[in-house]
Amino acid sequence: MRCIFYRHTADGPRCVLMPPEEWKTRRGQLEKFCTNGGNGCPVLARVLSLKRR
């Protein structure tokens, strides 16, 4: 199962919650969360915590 924010873009598959430049530098660390439905993802956790405020 994939995270709903891991999408195909013009820059290839990436997390749409971050800019392409940042994704390129953090991709290796974050892809495991993308392919695990977003479970444990620090990017997704931050977005959700900001949304709750």
pLDDT in tens, 19-36: 999 999 999 999 999 999
pLDDT above 90: residue 44:
yes
CA geometry: angle 39, 53, 20, nearest 5 deg = 50
Q: Is 48 domain-assigned?
A: yes
Domain hosting residue 22, numbered range? 6-52
34 occurs within a structural domain: yes
Total tally of structural domains belonging to the chain: 1
Whether 52 has a pLDDT exceeding 90, the answer reads no
Q: Give the E-state strand segments of 1-53 in sequence order.
A: 6-9, 12-15
Specify if 47 maps to a domain: yes
Question: Is position 1 within any domain?
Answer: no
pTM for this entry: 0.85
Q: Is the pLDDT of residue 2 over 90?
A: yes
Model pLDDT, residue 19: 95
pLDDT for residue 45 is more than 90: yes
